[in-house]
Amino acid sequence: MKTDSFSIKLIIRNKINSSFKIMALVLFFSFLYPQLSLADAKDKNFIHIKLWHQLMYAHRTVQAQAIANFEKLNPGIKIESVYKETEDLRSSYQAAALVGGGPELIYGPSDQVGPLQIMGLIAPMQDYLDLTGLNDFDPLSIIKVQDQIYMLGDTVGNHISLIYNKKLISAPPQNTKEMFEQGAKYKNGFYIVWPMQEPYFFVPWIAGFGGQFITAMAEPQLDQPAVTQALALVKKLKESSFVPKEADYETANALFKEGKAAMIINGDWSWGDYQKAGIDFSIARLPMISETKLWPSPLVATKGYSVNASIKPEKREAVKKLLEYLTSAEVQALYSKEVSTMPARLSVRLTPTVTENELLQKSADILLVGTPMPIFPELRAVWDSLRAQYQSVLGGSSDPVTAAKMAQSEALRQIKVMNEIRQPDEQAYVVKGLILLFALFLIYKLIKERGIFKEIIFGEYRLGYAFLIPAALVVTLVIVFPFFYNIFISFSNLSLKTFQDWSITGFHNYFDIFKEPQFFSVFLKTLLWTFLNLFFHVSIGLVLALVLDDLIPFKGLWRTLLIIPWAVPQYISALTWRGMFNQEFGPINQILTEFMHMSPVEWLSRPFEAFSACLLTNVWLGFPFMMMVTLGGLQGIPKELYEAARVDGGNALHRFRYVTWPLLQPVLMPSIVLGGIWTFNNLNVVWLVSNAGEPADSTHILVSYVYKSAFNLYRYGFSAALSVVIFLMLLLATLFYFKISKSEKGNP
């Protein structure tokens, strides 16, 4: 069909067109450029220092003020301060510092020092500090690892205490006996509330029974009478009539702020918010344990600055100056004055700002019975195992003795896997051999198929290749590299301790997956999750589409309303649903109790209910997609077919069974496959609705399990292997599906 002149014309057109395309792209990007290059275009005359922090909202204005002052005093230096949420701060910093980037300074709680120091991403600070001036700092605020300073604090605190509303009670209980007595008498709502899911709010009680939950050598001590007794005490408190049935952080906070609770156990970070809400409150120690006459001991942490391990030499002087200023008496006094933080400098504590501040004075008294927050990474394993068992005790699915035992053994297990450094063995050679073979195979393929290059440039279908190549390149660059990187990591021992010098070790991570106690139950749950979601998505979508396809008034309006769940970004709707599931104050239970006269459901504190809550949320998110797909499918079915069925005497059900469904199936199937893959890998909903797998890690599906192992326990090699397994499962399922649908097509 093609003549010579035609193909010449084609080539010319093609050339003109491709150069036009390139020009258009250049124009397009140059339009974008002013935005794109913001990071580069900054004035070169200044020294730029970056600071990442996790200051809460109210404290950020104080920081902005301090930074403005500093820039005025040091005209050559510009500070860029960026807020990152605690977990994001750590993971973003890890990624950035790994390639020698990242901010010069980071500000955060002392427990981030442990992992970052082990990974070698923060530097000893002696060179940046005036060592003689350190005498003025509370020893708690100087964080050392192996005699080197890795963090200098500007405030000490983060401790929890009893916060009481002076309007509702005159004096806080002195001991636990008093607490139960006063509570029983209290009639204006709840006597005491606290964030019930968080082990951070539980741990202080252990000291009240004479125990210590982790030793100075980072050994967990959870299986001891003090822990059992503390669990029993908190369980008794939770089951008291004067305490809400369920309260996460937000609920407890809201109850206290609205005057529905007389006391809350909360940290010093919340004071500002309560002051702003106009509550007349004061603070006190957690009540003494009557039986032991010991005070519960809140954890006391410092928040402070650490220095990036790879700072450019020309910036060192500026970093030193900034550090000096930010930890100076002047700035600490400013924070104390504006947001009532306890300064790290002893000299500032003697100034009127602190001595005349009632809260800070009482806080100092509470600090006397505090315990310094341990900084070793093992603490994460302790929190994690304690959280699960503590929640089961409160939820009634375990007793204190068993829970303490299990928390201890789980903590030990997690610490073992976290600290394990696998050495390469014979398997490493096998893996390396396989990788080499694969590379050889690729080269062989490339040589064998070298004709393809000729085909791409001169072949009959070169236009087709030219069309395909840009997309193929982008996909290869962005997806294929990370993909192989991930496979590579899955054979390695990459973890906390080997972050900067990992090596290929073999198939261990894959064996570990099947040894993981939770693996099979999580896998089955994932299958159930995927199946149920798809079932509801498709059936609801189908029903709505059938209804909308009929003659209905205001069709467009209904469609618009029903499509809304799809349009709202997932991270917003997931968090909203979480709020709505609250047992006592969420609207869902309000509807159940007020309109349907049912008893309230403990949505978020029991495994089955929490799983259902995630499911309900995801059904809400996913049905509009299926509805739209089905609507499209229905419109493609010729109306004559229905007529024919009607003439043949088929009723509505028959018409659906023999006309609608068979013709819809091919349209729905690709969407179901894709929907299945997305649901299987839907991290957002499970993670946000169940607050990272609560209660007790019982709501995990495989992908949230991967996320948790990678970012909570630093098991990068393991999570990479697990994600390869997920990938293979989905790939096999899809290939199987294609095979089936092909063979079905083959014999009509």
Partner 1 sequence: MKKLKLIVSLIILTFFSLFALFPIGYIFAVSFKNNNSFQLSSFQIWTDSSSFDNYIKLFTETQFPTWLINSLVVSTSVTLFGITLAAFAAYALSRFPLRGGPTFLLVLLSTQMLPATMLLLPFYLLLSKFGLANHYLGLLIIYSSTALPFCIWQLKAWFDSIPKSLEEAAQVDGSTRLQAFFKVILPISGPALAVTSLFQFMTAWSEYAIAAIILQDSELFTLPVGLKSFQASLATEWGLYAAAAVLVSIPAVLLFTLLSKALISGLTMGSVKG
Residues 414-453 that bind partner 1 (CB under 8 A): 449, 452
Residue 144 beta carbon to partner 1: minimum distance, rounded to whole angstroms = 25
Residue 85 beta carbon to partner 1: minimum distance, rounded to whole angstroms = 6
Task: Based on the shown chain and the rule CB under 8 A, indicate whether residue 54 belongs to the binding site for partner 1.
Answer: yes
Residue placing its CB nearer to partner 1 in the complex, 438 or 485: 485
Residue found by looking up tokens 């990242």 in the block: 102
Subset of 502-541 contacting partner 1 (CB under 8 A): 540
Residue placing its CB nearer to partner 1 in the complex, 304 or 633: 633
Residue placing its CB nearer to partner 1 in the complex, 316 or 559: 559
For partner 1, which residue of 585, 603, 714, 718 counts as binding (CB under 8 A)?
585
Q: By CB under 8 A, which span of 220-228, 246-254, 524-532, 600-608 interacts with partner 1? A: 246-254
Task: Based on the shown chain and the rule CB under 8 A, indicate whether residue 470 belongs to the binding site for partner 1.
Answer: yes
Task: Based on the shown chain and the rule CB under 8 A, indicate whether residue 39 belongs to the binding site for partner 1.
Answer: yes
Give the closest residue to 297 by CA, choosing from 224, 213, 380: 213
Any residues with CB less than 8 A from the CB of 143 and at least 6 apart, and which?
Answer: 110, 113, 149, 150, 151, 152, 153, 302, 304, 375
Q: Name the packing angle between helices 329-339 and 57-73 (round to 10°).
A: 150
Residue placing its CB nearer to partner 1 in the complex, 222 or 580: 580
SS3 421: coil
Residue 184 beta carbon to partner 1: minimum distance, rounded to whole angstroms = 25
Residue placing its CB nearer to partner 1 in the complex, 177 or 462: 462
Subset of 676-715 contacting partner 1 (CB under 8 A): 677-678, 681, 683, 703, 706-707, 710
For partner 1, which residue of 46, 507, 523, 566 counts as binding (CB under 8 A)?
566
Residue 80 beta carbon to partner 1: minimum distance, rounded to whole angstroms = 6
Residue placing its CB nearer to partner 1 in the complex, 521 or 665: 665
Residue placing its CB nearer to partner 1 in the complex, 100 or 433: 100
Residue 318 beta carbon to partner 1: minimum distance, rounded to whole angstroms = 18
Task: Based on the shown chain and the rule CB under 8 A, indicate whether residue 723 belongs to the binding site for partner 1.
Answer: yes
Q: By CB under 8 A, which span of 115-123, 161-169, 212-220, 580-588 interacts with partner 1? A: 580-588
Rounded distance, CA 482 to CA 480, Å?
Answer: 6
Amino acid at position 334, single letter: L
Amino acid at position 622, single letter: G
Residue placing its CB nearer to partner 1 in the complex, 92 or 328: 92
Task: Based on the shown chain and the rule CB under 8 A, indicate whether residue 567 belongs to the binding site for partner 1.
Answer: yes
Residue 150 beta carbon to partner 1: minimum distance, rounded to whole angstroms = 22
Q: Name the packing angle between helices 716-746 and 508-515 (round to 10°).
A: 80
Subset of 484-503 contacting partner 1 (CB under 8 A): 485-486
Task: Based on the shown chain and the rule CB under 8 A, indicate whether residue 653 belongs to the binding site for partner 1.
Answer: no
Subset of 87-106 contacting partner 1 (CB under 8 A): 87-88, 91-92, 95-96, 98-99, 101, 103
Q: Which residues pair with 192 in a beta bridge?
A: 263
Q: By CB under 8 A, which span of 227-235, 411-419, 560-568, 600-608 interacts with partner 1? A: 560-568
Rounded distance, CA 336 to CA 352, Å?
Answer: 10
Rounded distance, CA 374 to CA 149, Å?
Answer: 15
Exposure class string for 701-731: b at 16+ Cβ within 10 A, else e: bbbbbbbbbbbbbbbbbbbbbbbbbbeeebe
Subset of 105-164 contacting partner 1 (CB under 8 A): none
Rounded distance, CA 704 to CA 278, Å?
Answer: 40
Subset of 266-285 contacting partner 1 (CB under 8 A): 267, 269-270, 273, 276-277
Task: Based on the shown chain and the rule CB under 8 A, indicate whether residue 27 belongs to the binding site for partner 1.
Answer: no
Subset of 182-201 contacting partner 1 (CB under 8 A): 195
Q: Which residues pair with 53 in a beta bridge?
A: 83, 107
Task: Based on the shown chain and the rule CB under 8 A, indicate whether residue 671 belongs to the binding site for partner 1.
Answer: yes
Helix H or strand E encompassing 223? none
Look at strands 281-284 and 160-165 and give their pairing.
antiparallel
Rounded distance, CA 691 to CA 613, Å?
Answer: 12
SS3 261: strand
Residue found by looking up tokens 């946000």 in the block: 688
Subset of 194-233 contacting partner 1 (CB under 8 A): 195
Rounded distance, CA 93 to CA 106, Å?
Answer: 9
Residue 256 beta carbon to partner 1: minimum distance, rounded to whole angstroms = 10
Rounded distance, CA 318 to CA 70, Å?
Answer: 11
List % helix, strand, coil for the chain (3-state, nearest 5): 65, 10, 25
Distance in angstroms between the alpha carbons of the first and the last residue of the chain:
35
For partner 1, which residue of 582, 679, 690, 698 counts as binding (CB under 8 A)?
582
For partner 1, which residue of 572, 598, 644, 740 counts as binding (CB under 8 A)?
572
Subset of 318-347 contacting partner 1 (CB under 8 A): none
Task: Based on the shown chain and the rule CB under 8 A, indicate whether residue 556 belongs to the binding site for partner 1.
Answer: yes
Q: Name the packing angle between helices 519-549 and 702-711 (round to 10°).
A: 130
Residue 474 beta carbon to partner 1: minimum distance, rounded to whole angstroms = 5
Strands of 589-683 (E only): list them: none
Give the closest residue to 411 by CA, choosing from 384, 391, 393, 389: 384
461 to each of 3, 13, 185, 449, how far by Cα in Å? 15, 15, 86, 16
Q: How many residues bind partner 1 (CB under 8 A)?
A: 145
Any residues with CB less than 8 A from the CB of 142 and at least 6 apart, and which?
Answer: 134, 149, 151, 152, 153
Residue 24 beta carbon to partner 1: minimum distance, rounded to whole angstroms = 9
Contact 619, 537 (CB under 8 A): yes
Task: Based on the shown chain and the rule CB under 8 A, indicate whether residue 731 belongs to the binding site for partner 1.
Answer: yes
